[in-house]
Amino acid sequence: MIKPKQKSVSGRQASSAQVADDEASPAAAGTEVDLGYLNGLLGYALRRAQLAVFQDFIQNMKDFDLRPAQFSVLAIIAANPGLKQSRVSEALGINRANFVALLDELEKRKLARRAASPGDRRSNALYLTPKGESFLAEAYRHLQIHHERRLDELLGSADKQFLLSLLRKLSTLS
C-alpha cells in the first residue's frame, strides 16, 4: 500500500564529504550552492521542513488570526475540558510562565476561559467558550481543506501518515 519512492534521493553521500578548499577559485556565482555536510543531517532537513509547513499554516490561518501555538492551546483545551493550566502548558512543552500571556490573549478574545478548579484554589481549570468551540472547529475545518490537503497532495496521503509515525518516534528522543 505504501510505496517508498527513493528515486531522487540517491547520491547523497557522494556530493560533499571531501572538503577540498581551492581558494584560488572562489565558488562560482551561477552555480548551485552545495549543502555539503548538511545534506545528511536530519536536524537540518527537519528545520527547513518545519519552517515551510508553519509558513503555510500561518498563511492559511491569517483570516482567523491564529498562530500555531494558539491553535495548539485551543486544541488541547477542547480535547480535555477542565484541564488545569499547568497540565496544558506541560503537554505542549510551553514554559508555564510564558503560557500566562498566551492564555490571557485567548481569554481576551473570548475563546477560552479560566474557571475555578474544584478542590484546588491554586489552579485554574481551562475551558473553551462556546465561541471558542465553534471558532476552533471552523479553523480546523479550514486547515483540513486548505493546509493538510495540500500536504496530502504533495506527499501522498499514505506517505504523509508514515511521515507522522516517524516524527512521533523522533519526539521521544531523551
Partner DNA sequence: GCAAATTGTTATCAGTTATAATAATCAGAA
Partner DNA sequence: TTCTGATTATTATAACTGATAACAATTTGC
- For DNA, what does the binding mask look like between residues 70 and 89, x meaning CB under 7 A? --------------xxx---
**Nearer of residues 35 and 162 to DNA, judged by Cβ:** 35
CB distance 72 to 122 below 8 Å:
no
As a whole number of angstroms, the distance between CA 152 and CA 158 comes to 8
Residue of 113, 83, 112, 85 whose CA lies nearest to 98? 85
What, of a second copy, DNA, none, does residue 141 touch, CB below 5 to 8 Å by kind? none
Residue type, 152: D
53, 74, 46, 76: which is closest to 146 by C-alpha?
Answer: 53
Count of other CB atoms within 10 angstroms of residue 139: 21
Stretch that binds DNA, among 120-128, 134-142, 151-159, 165-173 (CB under 7 A): 120-128
- Cβ of residue 102: shortest distance to a second copy, in angstroms? 15
Backbone angles phi, psi at 127, to 5 degrees: -140, 155
Partner that binds at residue 78, options a second copy, DNA, none, CB closer than 5 to 8 Å by kind: a second copy
Instruction: Please name every residue paired with 115 in a beta bridge, in sequence order, or none if there are none.
Output: 125
Binding range to DNA, per CB under 7 A, among 9-17, 96-104, 128-136, 144-152: 96-104
Nearer to a second copy, 26 or 65 (CB): 26
122-161 residues in contact with DNA (CB under 7 A) are 122-124
The residues of the shown chain that bind DNA, judged by CB under 7 A, are 67, 69, 84-86, 94-100, 103-104, 114, 117, 119-124
